[in-house]
Amino acid sequence: MTTNSIEQLGLYCLIIVLLTPVLGKYMARVFRGDRTLLSPILAPVENAVYRICGIDADSEMSWQVYAVALLVFSIVGMLVTYVLLRLQGFLPLNPQHFSGAQISPDLAFNTSASFTTNTNWQAYVPEQTVSYFSNMVALAIHNWMSAASGIAVAIALVRGLTRHSAKAIGNIWVDMVRATLYVLLPICLVYAMFLVQQGVPQNFAPYVHAHTLDGRVQTIAQGPVASQEAIKMLGTNGGGFFNANSAHPYENPTPLSNFVQMLSIFLIPAALTSTFGCMAGSPRQGWALFAAMSVMFVTGVIVCTTAEQRGIPAVAACNVMVHPTPGQPGGNMEGKETRFGISDSALFAVITTDASCGAVNSMHDSFTPIGGLVPVSNILSGEVIFGGVGAGLYGMLMFAIIAVFIAGLMVGRTPEYLGKKIERYEVKMAMLAVLVLAASILGFAALAVVLPINAHGYWNSGGNPWTNVNNAGAHGFSEILYAFASATGNNGSAFAGLNANTPFFNLTLGIAMLIGRFLMIIPLLAIAGSMVKKVPVPATSGTFPTDSGTFVVLLLGAVVLVGALTFFPALALGPIAEHLQMIHGKLF
């Protein structure tokens, strides 16, 4: 790592550490239903929403009702998106005259599943496929709704862990409305204007035809980019307005906009650990989770940046500079932008895959094998290194349950978390979530590699799915593994060379996204429902403290062990094999 990359990482961590307790405490107030600074303006709006929607804000829900409500809300939203995408040709704000026929039924299914589950995987080129209306209405509403529902589920799980002798875990409608009005909206309002100031467009004009100095005509895509960009990052959604996502100079024009985008990815997931600490009545409990996440984050940045700075031997052989100099970045600049260089590209890649954001400011497919191993490992960790808004916290709490269970086994004592006994039911549910995710990733990836499909048929016109890869050799397998990891982990980034816009991939990846979102959430809400009934037992000298350094190490062990045991064989076939091939000068 260069001095500059260390300084940038240091500044980044410092700002996140400072903002975490501030926003964390604020969110704890919001979800307790307390008055906040913004209440004079927002409380009337909030009450109006409850009135219009017929929501009784004072009644609370059992975990079953909470889960069913979330499912129904998601299904309704998914249907709306599917229909709006298919009908985009008849809808307004479509100066490029894109038609609904450009979005085939399988692509529309994949895209609506993708945005509903906070994945924002995009199997299409946005600037050539979707209208401004589709972007801002059909798709971007899910940037808000899925972020709000993710936060709601995390808060419900925290209530389950921290309340006792109760039945209800909150009201999902109230949680979602408050998350949107009091957290997402005010930040996005300021954030979107900052992005415009930096150079992100916000207009409804047709694409501009520029007549260049060199005598060419350049068609420049436009659109309401800033309003979508803000929530795309803050809600850890990651679905780009343009194909190049946050590498596109219109989405991310300057190093400053880039730094703020990176901050906005971790902002809410990091703060939610503090919200958890506040609601548990012990901020240290939140900081313990934060510490475990930070260790994995910083490790990832160091490994990824070092690998990318080391560059590609075959490129260095053409006498291209690998070491950074004051006038050029060196390293592996394939698929990276000059204004971001190596440091900001590697840092962004780690952040966006730690959090299940999936926006990219460089092309992960062109990373060195070890540089690319880091993002895919981050996703395979279960998206718990800060993770998606809400999803990161509930995922990490699931691992906390597994960690105290393992500790309990070691000392032969019933494990406890926050003073409550962790019993068979909770561990079963946590393991169910872990196993379902692993089965989806590995099962679908294996299927895509071995399944024979006829060429020129409906499902995959090129024939066998593995022929859709952009790169031969081990890297091709990495592309497929990355795709199903990203879909199941609800990340949305890609080794984007894979041609995933075929009915086979659209269907399987769409199903993987739904599995990854809902078969994770339902077991966790079941845990919340079971824990909320329990009575805390007083701490004794035999109680394992879950706000200690030992617990942080144990939690790290649980995440790394589960991930390594499950996915190491697959990673050995992909990035690790490719690394060995690369250093021996093998090309495919």
Partner 1 sequence: MLRIIKPAVLLTVVFTLGTGILFPACITLMAQSLFPKQARGSLVKYHGVVIGAAHIGQNFTSPCYFHSRPSAAGNGYDASDSGGTNLAPTSEKLIHGSPAAAGSPSFTGIAQLAVEYRKENDLAPSTPLPADAVTYSASGLDPDISPANARLQEARVAAASGLTMDQVKSAVALHTRNRTFGLLGEPRVNVLAVNLEIARLIAASHKVK
> At its nearest, how many Å lie between partner 1 and the CB of residue 246?
9
Site size toward partner 1 (CB under 8 A) is: 132
87 near partner 1 (CB under 8 A) = no
- Minimal distance in Å, beta carbon 453 to partner 1? 20
Closest contact distance (angstroms) between CB of 497 and partner 1 is 3
Candidates 273-281, 309-317, 540-548, 565-573; binding stretch for partner 1 (CB under 8 A): 309-317
Closest approach, Cβ 430 to partner 1, in A, equals 27
Complex with partner 1: residue 365 or 547, whichever CB lies closer: 365
Task: Return the structure tokens found at 283.
Answer: 């901020």
Please give the residues from 333 up to 372 whose contact with partner 1 meets the rule CB under 8 A: 333-341, 343-345, 360-363, 365-369
Site residues for partner 1, window 122-161 (CB under 8 A)?
Answer: 125, 127-128, 136-138, 140-141, 143-145
Rounded to whole angstroms, the Cα distance separating 161 from 536 reads: 10
Contacts (CB under 8 A) with partner 1, residues 317-336:
318-322, 325-336
When asked if residue 175 is in the footprint of partner 1 (CB under 8 A), the reply is: no
Binding segment toward partner 1, per CB under 8 A, in 22-30, 33-41, 226-234, 546-554: 226-234
107 closest CA partner among 512, 484, 507: 507
Q: Which stretch binds partner 1 (CB under 8 A): 105-113, 195-203, 426-434, 529-537?
A: 195-203
Compare residues 86 and 248 and give the one whose CB is closer to partner 1. Answer: 248
List the alpha helices (DSSP H) in 532-548: none
The reply to whether 214 sits near partner 1 by the rule CB under 8 A is yes
Does 378 participate in binding partner 1 (rule CB under 8 A)?
A: no
Name residues contacting partner 1, limited to 470-489 (CB under 8 A): 470-475
Q: Considering only residues 418 through 457, tell me which ones interact with partner 1, judged by CB under 8 A.
A: none
Q: In this structure, what are the phi and psi dihedrals at residue 239, rounded to the nearest 5 degrees? A: -80, 120
The H-assigned helical ranges of 87-223 are 105-116, 126-129, 132-133, 140-162, 172-178, 185-198
Q: For 163-246, where are the alpha helices, taking DSSP H only?
A: 172-178, 185-198, 225-234
- Under the criterion CB under 8 A, does residue 204 sit at the interface with partner 1? yes
Residue 68 contacts partner 1 per CB under 8 A = yes
Q: Which of 232, 248, 517, 534 binds partner 1 (CB under 8 A)?
A: 248
Q: Any contact of residue 170 with partner 1 (CB under 8 A)?
A: no
Tell me the Cα Rg of the chain.
23
CB-nearer residue toward partner 1: 76 or 564:
76
Rank residues 118 and 273 by Cβ distance to partner 1 and give the closer one: 118
Cβ atoms within 10 Å of 62's Cβ, excluding its own: 15
d(CA 38, CA 381): 37
Q: Are 408 and 414 in contact (CB under 8 A)?
A: yes
Using CB under 8 A as the binding rule, the residues of this chain from 8 to 67 that contact partner 1 are: 8, 11, 49, 52-55, 65
Is residue 315 classed exposed, middle or buried when 0-12, 13-18 and 19+ CB atoms within 10 A define those classes?
Answer: middle
* Range list of β-strands (E), 51-142: none
Sign of the dihedral through C-alpha 401, 402, 405, 411: negative
CA distances from residue 510 to 129, 463, 488 in whole angstroms, order as listed: 19, 20, 9
Per residue, the 3-state secondary structure of 356-420, as one string, reads CCCCCCCCHHHCCHHHHHHHHHHHHCCCCCCCCCCHHHHHHHHHHHHHHHHHHHHHCCCCEECCE
Binder among 99, 102, 104, 202 for partner 1 (CB under 8 A): 202
Piece of 157-165, 311-319, 390-398, 516-524 that binds partner 1 (CB under 8 A): 311-319
